[in-house]
Amino acid sequence: MLRRFLGFLLAGLLVVVSGCGTPAPDAESPAPSVAPSASASPAISLSSESFPLTVTDTTGRQVSLERRPERVVFLSGTPLNVWYDAGGTAVGRPELTDNIRLGADYAGTIMALPSVGMPYATDSEAVAGLQPDLVVGVEGPHDAAVEAYQKLGINSILVKIRSLDDLRQAYQAFGTLAGSPETARQRIAAIDAQCQQVLSQVPGRKASVVILFVTAQSLAVKRDNSIAGQMSLQLGLTNIASGSTPDNPGSETTPLDIEYIVSKQPDHVLVTSMMGSNEQARETLQAQLEANPAWQTIDAVREGRIHYLPQQYFLFNAGPYYGDALAYLAATIHPDVFGAPVEP
C-alpha cells in the first residue's frame, strides 16, 4: 500500500514539475593530449572524501548524505556502468539494450537487478518500491523525476557524462560515494593511459569530418559537444559543424545543411545513430543519399569515406570503454597507422 501511495504521489509530482519546467536540452590543432576536455556543465563534486558530505551535481543542486548510500537506483545506463566499474553496487537499473556495452566483470550482475523501466520513461512506483537511499539520473531527461524524488525525501542527483573530463569527475565522485575510491582512481588512470597511447600515435596530417546523426525521423549534424565531436577534437580533426547554432540551447545537434556540407567538402563522413542497429542506420542514410543528388557532389560520399560508428561507443559516453572508443575513431580515420577498427 505504501509503495502504491508513493508511486501515485510521485506521478503527481512529476506532472506538476514537468509542467512548470522548460524543455530540457538534448541528451570534440595542436598536438592531441588527454588534457581535460571541455564540458558545458559543471562537474559533479563532493565536499569531502568521507561522510557526512554534500554532493553538488552537474546542475548545481546540492544533496547532503550522512552516510554511504547502500540502496542506489540508476535511471540511465551510462552512470550505472561507471558506478559498477568504480566499485559500486546498486539495487535498481533502467531497461538496457545492446547500445550500451557493460563491463564484462559485472554485466550479469547488472542485468539481474530489478528494472525501473525505460530510461526516458521510468516507473516511479518501481523506483519507490526499491526504497532507495540515492537515485541517480541524467541531466535533461530526468530533471523532473529527480526533483520529484527529492521533494519526497529521497536523495537524488543528476549527472552528465559526455566528455572525458566528465568521465573522470564521475569516477572520482562515484568511487567516494561507493566506498571504493582506490578502485575508481585505478580505473581513471587506466583510461587516461589508454587514451594517451592512442593519441601518441596520431599522425600530424590534418583531416576534416562531418558527423551525421541518423534517427528514424530525421537526419541532423553533431556539434563539438557530442561524444564523436569531442573525440574528433581530441584526435586533432576539424568538425565542420564546430561553432554551429544548436537546435536548442545546449543541444548536440544542428540542422542538416547539405549546401554547407558540399561547400566544406569534409574528408570523412562519420555516422552516429539512434536506430535499432547500424544496418538500419545504413539503410536510412542510403535512402537520403539517393533522394538528394547533392550528396554525390561530396568527394567523401562518392569515394566511400562514410564510416558508421557503433552505438555502444558513440551514442552515449562509453564509460569504462572510453579508450576503446577513442581507438576506434582513430583507426577509422587512420587505418594505415592503427589498423582496422575493432568492433565492440
Distances (CA, A) of 128 to 4, 9, 92, 124: 9, 10, 10, 6
Q: What is the mean pLDDT of the chain?
A: 89
Q: Could you tell me which residue, 35 or 70, shows the higher pLDDT?
A: 70
Write down the pLDDT at residue 217.
86
Compute the distance between CA of residue 95 and CA of residue 188 in angstroms, rounded to an integer: 26
C-alpha cell at 129: 518500491
CA atoms within 13 A on the CB side of 11: 10
Distances (CA, A) of 130 to 60, 71, 155, 162, 181: 26, 8, 13, 28, 26
Compute the distance between CA of residue 113 and CA of residue 299 in angstroms, rounded to an integer: 49
Compute the distance between CA of residue 163 and CA of residue 82 in angstroms, rounded to an integer: 13
Write down the pLDDT at residue 250.
82
pLDDT at 11 exceeding the cut of 70:
no
Write down the pLDDT at residue 121.
87
> 3-state class of 216 per DSSP?
coil
Lowest mean pLDDT among 149-153, 177-181, 207-211, 277-281: 277-281
Compute the distance between CA of residue 138 and CA of residue 42 in angstroms, rounded to an integer: 14
Helix axes 181-199, 164-178, angle to 10 degrees: 160
Q: Using a pLDDT cut of 70, give the percent of the chain over it.
A: 88
Residue range 5-23: average pLDDT? 41
Compute the distance between CA of residue 49 and CA of residue 185 in angstroms, rounded to an integer: 13
Write down the pLDDT at residue 289.
92
pLDDT at 200 exceeding the cut of 50:
yes
Write down the pLDDT at residue 43.
76
Write down the pLDDT at residue 219.
94
- In the chain the domains, ranked by start, together with CATH numbers, are 2-198 (3.40.50.1980), 208-338 (3.40.50.1980)
Write down the pLDDT at residue 253.
96
Write down the pLDDT at residue 42.
64
Q: Could you tell me which residue, 225 or 12, shows the higher pLDDT?
A: 225
Would you say 223 and 246 are in contact if contact means Cβ atoms under 8 Å apart?
Answer: yes
Of 253, 170, 156, 246, the residue nearest 212 (C-alpha): 253
Would you say 265 and 207 are in contact if contact means Cβ atoms under 8 Å apart?
Answer: no
